[in-house]
């Protein structure tokens, strides 16, 4: 009886242990409610390349000009992103900015217009050295533009160059259509003249005007703001020989030239223009600018004198007065030979007695003009021998 009872109690203990284990959260149990690991998404194969970037290999600009490069139209509906890379040495422009920063400001993508933009006034003309640091800009800016639209399309890239030439400064008192503008000035007017520099359409903020004198500077050229003038007694100390100042003006920002212009000012001795004679060796002037002539008859005056003669170019009549009152030369009786300056009076029956003051202008090869007067005193001849 005791053995039977003990055996039954052992079976009961084993059964109880098993039942207890089945109700517990033991690590041996399989959790059928565990979260399943998601499968990786199916990879999307690119269907091809984006449309190519149609940009020029080299973009050439003059400082002040902008460039707008059209990007493919389909980019606007394809969620395209852009990356610009600048390949030039990242030189320091100032303590606050370097070349990479400058290029990033001046070269960018305008998403609204779908264009590559180059704003030259945010950049600098190429291949100039800074007058402050001496560091030289590259002869071209090298840029790579990459367009991406993953995962549907493979990216496309375009590497191109940007070359910016300096703008041309205007000399307000000179003919700027010339490659090298120039002006003649007489020594006697040296302190009264000034030439003004301008750079139309350019932003002048944070810029400075500079002036370089080719040859040996003589400290006679003065730059004050944008005005170029001359000190007392420039050029030839004796003021007898021609003297040329060969000058280069520049507009700078951060020491780099934005615009330049070479121009020349040539000083010359005083030019004489008169009806009469001038003897240079004696500095003697004899005027024959008041002449008595016969009324109604043909007449031709002596030629005026230009000294030095090499400056002579052409002549014209500015006005005519008779006895102090404006004379209407509508019949063109009084004329001038534009090459010689001789005044001619045609045979006529309409002029009346009196003094005819003729104001004549001489244009010279220097671009300077001069005026003088010739008076013709017309009176009735003692014998009326003119033709009818």
What residues does each domain of the chain span?
A: 48-165, 167-268, 272-379
pLDDT, tens digit, 9 for 90 and up, residues 275-301: 999 998 788 999 999 999 999 999 999
Q: 22 pLDDT exceeds 50?
A: no
Query: Which CATH number does the domain 272-379 belong to among 3.40.1350.10, 2.60.40.10, 3.30.420.40, 2.60.40.2710?
Result: 2.60.40.2710
Total Cβ atoms within 10 A of residue 272: 19
Predicted confidence at residue 43, as pLDDT, reads 60
Instruction: Dig out the tokens for 243 from the structure.
Output: 């003297």
Q: How confident is the model at residue 14 (pLDDT cuts 50, 70, 90)?
A: very low
User: Which fold does the domain 48-165 belong to in CATH?
Assistant: Immunoglobulin-like (2.60.40)
Do residues 311 and 270 touch, judged by C-beta distance below 8 A? no
Predicted confidence at residue 44, as pLDDT, reads 60
Predicted confidence at residue 21, as pLDDT, reads 47
Q: 5 pLDDT exceeds 60?
A: no
Name, in order, each residue with C-beta under 8 angstroms of 163's C-beta and a sequence gap of 6 or more.
58, 59, 60, 61, 126, 139, 140, 141
Q: What superfamily does domain 167-268 belong to in CATH?
A: Cadherins (2.60.40.60)
Choose among 360, 378, 177: nearest CA to 276. Answer: 360
What is the overall mean pLDDT for the chain? 89
pLDDT, tens digit, 9 for 90 and up, residues 56-106: 999 999 999 999 999 999 998 888 999 999 999 999 999 999 999 999 999
Q: Is pLDDT larger for residue 6 or for residue 161?
A: 161
pLDDT, tens digit, 9 for 90 and up, residues 246-273: 999 999 999 999 999 999 999 998 899 9
Predicted confidence at residue 192, as pLDDT, reads 83
Q: Is pLDDT larger for residue 322 or for residue 1?
A: 322
Q: Is pLDDT larger for residue 346 or for residue 238?
A: 346
Q: 384 pLDDT exceeds 80?
A: no
Q: Write the burial class of residue 387 (CB in 10 Å: 0-12 exposed, 13-18 middle, 19+ buried).
A: exposed
The C-alpha torsion from 240 through 242 and 245 to 246, rounded to 10°, is -160
- Write down the pTM of the prediction: 0.71
Predicted confidence at residue 18, as pLDDT, reads 47
DSSP 178: S
Q: Is pLDDT larger for residue 31 or for residue 261?
A: 261
pLDDT, tens digit, 9 for 90 and up, residues 108-155: 999 999 999 999 999 999 999 999 999 999 999 999 999 998 778 899
Q: Tell me whether the CATH fold assigned to 48-165 matches the one assigned to 272-379.
A: yes
Predicted confidence at residue 77, as pLDDT, reads 86
Q: Is pLDDT larger for residue 15 or for residue 333?
A: 333
pLDDT, tens digit, 9 for 90 and up, residues 196-230: 999 999 999 999 999 999 988 888 999 999 999 99
Predicted confidence at residue 383, as pLDDT, reads 61
Do residues 193 and 229 touch, judged by C-beta distance below 8 A? yes
Predicted confidence at residue 282, as pLDDT, reads 84
Q: 346 pLDDT exceeds 70?
A: yes
DSSP 106: H
Looking only at the bridges linking them, the beta strands covering 115-119 and 66-70 are antiparallel
Return the ∠ at Cα 118 (arms to 83 and 138), rounded to 5°.
Answer: 85
Choose among 331, 362, 363: nearest CA to 349. Answer: 331
Range in 27-31, 148-152, 207-211, 356-360 the model is least confident about: 27-31
Q: How confident is the model at residue 2 (pLDDT cuts 50, 70, 90)?
A: very low
């Amino acid at each position: 009886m005791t053995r039977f009872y003990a055996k039954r109690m052992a079976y009961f203990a084993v059964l109880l242990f098993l039942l207890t284990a089945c109700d517990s959260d033991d690590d041996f149990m399989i959790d059928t409610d565990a979260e399943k690991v998601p499968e990786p998404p199916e990879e999307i194969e690119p269907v091809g390349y984006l449309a190519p970037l149609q940009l020029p290999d080299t973009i050439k600009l003059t400082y002040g000009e902008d460039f707008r490069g059209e990007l493919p139209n389909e980019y606007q509906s394809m969620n395209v992103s852009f990356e610009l890379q600048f390949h030039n040495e990242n030189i320091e422009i100032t303590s606050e900015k370097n070349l990479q920063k400058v290029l990033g400001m001046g070269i960018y993508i305008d998403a609204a217009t779908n264009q590559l933009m180059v704003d030259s006034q945010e950049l600098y003309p190429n291949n100039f050295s800074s007058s402050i640091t001496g560091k030289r800009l590259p002869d071209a800016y090298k840029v790579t533009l990459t367009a991406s639209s993953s995962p549907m399309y493979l990216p496309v890239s375009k590497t191109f160059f940007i070359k910016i030439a300096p703008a041309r400064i205007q000399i307000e008192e000179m003919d700027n259509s010339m490659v090298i503008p120039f002006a003649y000035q007489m020594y006697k007017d040296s302190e009264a003249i000034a030439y003004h520099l301008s750079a139309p359409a350019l932003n002048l903020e944070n810029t400075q005007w500079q002036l370089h004198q080719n040859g040996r500077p003589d400290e006679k050229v003065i730059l004050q703001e944008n005005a170029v003038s001359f000190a007392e007694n420039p050029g030839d100390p004796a003021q007898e020989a021609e003297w040329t100042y060969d000058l280069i003006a520049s507009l700078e920002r951060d020491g780099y030239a934005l615009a330049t212009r070479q121009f020349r000012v040539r000083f010359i001795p005083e030019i004489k223009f008169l009806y009469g004679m001038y003897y240079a060796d004696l500095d003697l002037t004899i005027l024959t600018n008041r002449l008595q002539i016969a009324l109604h008859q043909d007449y031709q005056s002596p030629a005026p004198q230009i000294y030095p003669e090499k400056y002579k170019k052409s002549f014209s009549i500015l006005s005519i007065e008779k006895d102090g009152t404006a004379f209407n030369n509508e019949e063109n009786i009084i004329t001038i030979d534009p090459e010689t300056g001789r005044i001619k009076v045609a045979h006529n029956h309409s002029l009346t007695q009196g003094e005819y003051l003729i104001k004549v202008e001489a244009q010279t090869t220097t671009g300077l003009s001069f005026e003088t007067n010739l008076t013709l005193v017309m009176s009735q001849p003692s014998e009326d021998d003119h033709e009818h």
